[in-house]
Amino acid sequence: MLPAENIILIGGSAGSYNLILSCIESLPSVFSAAIIIVIHRNPKFITKIEETLTVRLKRSVLTARDKAIILPNNIYFATAGYHLLIEPNKTFCLDQSEPVQFSRPSIDVLFESAADAYTDKCTAILLSGANRDGTDGLQHVYHMGGEIYIQSPAEALMSTMPESAIAGNQNAKIWKNEQIISFFQKLK
């Protein structure tokens, strides 16, 4: 199977889960991009986000696996305890190097490697969180020709991450939650 031609990245931490859930619940049954999500989670605690969402949404929500091809019309979550990178051949790579911004998986690591592989076919959205992870990654996505969006700090449960990203990314569009959800509703 051929890899997805376009990817949509979502990065979030504290306070982002409910908005992520609303976004993927609003998706049409078929869309051409792949959606890849990094949410900061502690590998010491077993979470069943993918399994729970698969049942709730009645569609596959997958854990990104090392060397797997990134396929269209799929939703992937980064594995807890590993950085998730995108290889030039549009496959996943899991990495256990040092945390970035106190996080592994790091939003910056995914955004930067995805921008290198997908250039202008990459869209990145940064949500609520309590550190500055994602700020540098958004800059790189924009530099490589991709589109970047940041959740309005006024609507984020934890505004630190969006505020940092806004300060470091003058070209980003700032979206309210309803605009972010609408973006996913309209995917083709």
Q: Which residues are catalytic?
A: 13, 40, 133
Question: Cβ contacts of residue 75 below 8 Å, gap of 6+?
Answer: 24, 27, 34, 35, 37, 53, 59, 60, 61, 62
Question: Cβ contacts of residue 58 below 8 Å, gap of 6+?
Answer: none
Place of tokens 């990495």: 95
CB atoms within 10 A of CB 113: 21
Distances (CA, A) of 49 to 16, 37, 56, 68: 13, 11, 10, 19
- Pairwise CA distance, residues 179 & 181, whole Å: 5
106 close to 80: Cβ distance less than 8 angstroms: no
